[in-house]
Amino acid sequence: MKRWFALSAIGRDRPGIVADLAELIYECDCNLEDSSMTILGSEFAVLLLLTGEGEGVEQHLSAACKRVEWEKRLTVFFRPLEGEPVPHGVTGARTWELHATGVDKAGIVARVARGLANHSISITQMSTSSRPEPQTGTPIYSMRIAMSVPQGVDQDGLRRELDAVAAALHIELTLQPINR
């Protein structure tokens, strides 16, 4: 019977991390189904979705993860899933994109994310960065969010709430559907 597992790992970036994790999956007779990887600062982070079959696959993966943690100096989290994962997004939902830019300050992600959650919107991808402005060195924060917006969302109410957040934080915020 096919079993599903989620595995995440983080560690100082270096060549070979992906190879180390892919070999772990292969050695445990598992299959890499989906992945997302990034480098934040000097840290590499990955989230993997894998499948495996046979008796003892969970114990084999658990032991292999502990070995990789010790030998490769990674922090690894591993857990079995209950059945096959359902693809993200809500049936009938539309994909929208939000961009926010402004002087970096605490609370931008928290306030925007809460505004989206208040309308039952799921964030499917998010990327953020803070970079100094060329002339003044002022840190400018940028955020891009892809989201799944359910049918029936009060679009005017959503825009009003996000406009209020943008005004309170003194940021520019755009929101637009990317498919209809």
Q: How far apart are CA 101 and CA 147, in angstroms?
A: 17
The average confidence (pLDDT) of the chain is 93
Helix (H) or strand (E) holding 144: strand 139-149
Q: Are residues 101 and 163 in the same domain?
A: yes
Residue type, 37: M
Q: Are residues 117 and 155 in the same domain?
A: yes
Query: Which CATH number goes with the domain that contains 112?
Result: 3.30.70.260
What is this structure's pTM? 0.81
Residues 6+ apart with CB under 8 A from 139: 103, 104, 130, 131, 132, 133
Q: How far apart are CA 96 and CA 94, in angstroms?
A: 6
Q: What is the pLDDT of residues 40-98, one digit of tens each?
A: 999 999 999 999 999 999 999 999 999 999 999 999 999 999 988 876 654 678 999 99
Instruction: Please identify, among 45, 80, 115, the residue that sits at the C-terminal boundary of a domain.
Output: 80
Q: What is the pLDDT of residues 28-43, one digit of tens each?
A: 999 999 999 999 999 9
Q: Does residue 53 sit within a domain?
A: yes
Q: Are residues 15 and 74 in the same domain?
A: yes
Place of tokens 């926010």: 100
Q: Are residues 74 and 99 in the same domain?
A: no
Q: How far apart are CA 155 and CA 90, in angstroms?
A: 17
* Mean pLDDT value across residues 168-175: 97
Q: Does residue 89 sit within a domain?
A: no
DSSP letter (8 states) at residue 53: -
